Structure 1
């Protein structure tokens, strides 16, 4: 009886463990952070959240030697964009000059640099069934 219960427990745990891993991983590398102050934060966006609200996933990390690597896991197939911010003063927001220009470094997927606010169509990319690695530059 103990062996049967143990076997069922192991089988159930294995099933639940595999069922939680659906989707792909998106690894993002930024290797031109100007200093190690503060944190780098990233958000994964859909067209509905881009420049309007928090991303559907977000993460942050400390900076080491001007480089960071972060991963979004279990991302479903679809179209997304990633925004990255070097929050040097750890105030959890982008700081601006009086004229509206950003004081802190930022970047987005496809390394699109535009005059004016970032646009989703410039930063969007497709997630299918394979893990992705993106290099974003400030």
Structure 2
């Protein structure tokens, strides 16, 4: 009986270990930063947190030769969206002009060119846990 219990425990342990979540890295590049002022902020969200909570991952990037790049490490497979902001004055948030329009450039992983705030439907992508490179344009 002990032998059966040990075999069952080993089998269950191998099932749990065999189903370990795949993780990888996502490299996101913004190739069209218009000035070298400030930094570029990258935020990666799940659908539950999108534009409502803190992102699951965030990275600040320097601007070099009109380009900014961020690498998100150890990202579990899933569905995500990346929002990018050129924080020209370094205050850590998006600034708006007197008319309520964004005063700093932004973009999303869907590269949609709509007016208004980013939305999940146009921005999300599937990540299978293997390393991924993407380009996001302002």
TM-score between both structures, scaled by the size of structure 2:
0.82
Deviation track 1:81-122 (CA, whole Å, cap 9, x = no partner) reads 000000000000000012211000000002012122211111
> What's the secondary structure of 2:110's corresponding residue?
helix
- Structure 1, unpaired ranges of 5+: 1-21
In structure 2, what is the equivalent of residue 29 of structure 1? 29
* Bigger radius of gyration among the two: 2
In structure 2, what is the equivalent of residue 58 of structure 1? 58
CA distance in 2, matches of 1:117, 1:68: 22
TM-score between both structures, scaled by the size of structure 1:
0.82
When the two chains are superposed, the root-mean-square deviation of aligned CA atoms in Å is 1.3
In structure 2, what is the equivalent of residue 89 of structure 1? 89
CA distance in 2, matches of 1:124, 1:94: 21
- Structure 2, unpaired ranges of 5+: 1-21
The runs of 4+ residues in structure 1 deviating greater than 4 Å are none
How many residues align? The count is 118
Counterpart contact for 2:75–2:129, Cα < 8 Å:
no
In structure 2, what is the equivalent of residue 107 of structure 1? 107
Deviation at 1:129, TM superposition (A): 3.1
